[in-house]
Structure 1
Amino acid sequence: MKTIPNYKPVKPLLTVWALWFAVALCALAAQWAWGPAQGQGLDLSNSFFINMLLGQFVHLGWAHLTLNLLGLGVVLWGFERTAPALLLGFGLLWGLLAVPAYLTWVEPLDWYVGLSGALHTVFVVGLLCAWRQWRAGKAALVNARPPWPLLLLTVGLFIKLALEAKQASTGMPVDAWLGGHIAIQAHRGGALGGVLAYWAAAPALARRGIAR
């Protein structure tokens, strides 16, 4: 069979950048329609959960929106080589549903806006997938040590959540640059959602042989 020089396979339709672009469009549209949310959440329906769900795409201001979109882009790019785009997309969708559910029934808040909770979900899903890939490959290595970037990211996440939990005991911290309170409960809920999303999705993906 004759091969084609310099052939490059077609990339799958669902990539992390298509995912980021879709979220960015929704967030920009919501910000223009309902933002900036200064000191209050959305009040579009009688369902608190629905208001929380839609409120994730609204931010305190353009700085808040930019920070979250940049953060999501960095997380998706950072785990692009170790996690299937399908798994990262599932993690983001799961986070968008799990965070408002967590803030409605587990650690209730009066209101919440922003993507930081779902961002934590995607980060944890990507991190766990990276650890899984390392475990799968270390069998071929002698005296394989955990890679320091994964150790640093994991320890950093635990320290961040621990410091936020300590801050929560003295009230909701305020970020002057963002112009409002930091919803650290959403970060906890997002991280927990990431563990649950990976636990639910990874075995099914492995059985189907879905990989990058």
Structure 2
Amino acid sequence: MNWRPSPWLSVATVSVLCIVLQWADTIDLMEYQRQFIADGQWWRLLTGNLIHTNLWHLLMNLAGFWVVVFIHRVHYGNRHLAWLLLALCLTEGLGLWFAFPALSAYVGLSGVLHGLFAYGALNDIKIGWRSGYLLLVGVIAKVVWEQVMGGNAEVTQLIGARVATEAHLVGLLSGIGIFLLISGYCRIKQPAA
């Protein structure tokens, strides 16, 4: 396993950005709103992930973000994590746009967190950590459960909005897809021994 620089600058930057956007009350300008995206406001595909319904929603997502990165920190440097987060935000927005046309609005980092978690678990498996299998099966089971049973009622009440379980599914699939693309690219680029 190669040494990588710490990912914490990227984590802190995204956290501060989310806090500033929340404090500046930019939800009307940046939330994922299908009608406005259709009118050409494409930035909402990305920025909807950085906006939250209220302080509890923000704090829960940021706490989850720090924990997920901490669990898989050996896999990330700052630049790698920044690019991964950008890719996850983009695939989250595009996935919701194409796969869930009935979803008119979405905010929050939780879909991206599901992708980041799956991506990290797959990297654990790649380097031979058996715990990665448990983490991957766990996040898949959680997302499947949510697709069947719906979101957690207590969380819905706390964040003041329906838990967008569609975003969790898109995030999970995005994390797995990005991992497979990067792994395939690295295999192609690696010189034959």
Residue 178 (structure 1) aligned to one of 147, 159, 173:
159
Structure 1 position 48, deviation (Å): 5.6
Letter in 2 for 1:51: R
Q: Are 1:16 and 1:77, in contact at CA under 8 Å, matched by a contact in 2?
A: no
- In structure 1, the residue corresponding to 2:100 is in which secondary structure? coil
Distance 1:121-1:59 versus aligned 2 partners, 3 A rule: same
Question: CA deviation digits over 1:8-67, x for unaligned, max 9?
Answer: xxx74xx31111111112111211223567xx8568763364324222111010110011
Partner of 1:120: 114
Partner of 1:59: 52
Q: Are 1:95 and 1:193, in contact at CA under 8 Å, matched by a contact in 2?
A: yes
Partner of 1:5: none
Q: Distance in 2 between matches of 1:77 and 1:205?
A: 24
Q: Distance in 2 between matches of 1:125 and 1:151?
A: 12
Partner of 1:90: 83
Q: Are 1:36 and 1:61, in contact at CA under 8 Å, matched by a contact in 2?
A: no
Q: Are 1:30 and 1:58, in contact at CA under 8 Å, matched by a contact in 2?
A: yes
Q: Distance in 2 between matches of 1:70 and 1:200?
A: 28
Partner of 1:107: 100
Partner of 1:31: 22
In angstroms, what is the RMSD of aligned CA positions? 2.8
Q: Distance in 2 between matches of 1:92 and 1:203?
A: 19
Q: Are 1:61 and 1:178, in contact at CA under 8 Å, matched by a contact in 2?
A: yes
Q: Distance in 2 between matches of 1:126 and 1:88?
A: 11
Q: Distance in 2 between matches of 1:90 and 1:202?
A: 15
- In structure 2, the residue corresponding to 1:114 is in which secondary structure? coil
Bigger-Rg structure (1/2) = 1
**What stretches of structure 1 move > 6 A for 4+ residues in a row?**
none
Structure 1 position 155, deviation (Å): 2.4
Partner of 2:13: 22
Distance 1:113-1:58 versus aligned 2 partners, 3 A rule: same
Q: Are 1:52 and 1:111, in contact at CA under 8 Å, matched by a contact in 2?
A: no
Q: Distance in 2 between matches of 1:205 and 1:18?
A: 25
Letter in 1 for 2:166: Q
Q: Under a length normalisation based on structure 1, what TM-score does the superposition of the two structures give?
A: 0.74
The structure whose residues are more often helix, as a share, is: 2
Q: Are 1:65 and 1:114, in contact at CA under 8 Å, matched by a contact in 2?
A: yes
Q: Are 1:24 and 1:69, in contact at CA under 8 Å, matched by a contact in 2?
A: yes
Q: Are 1:53 and 1:96, in contact at CA under 8 Å, matched by a contact in 2?
A: yes
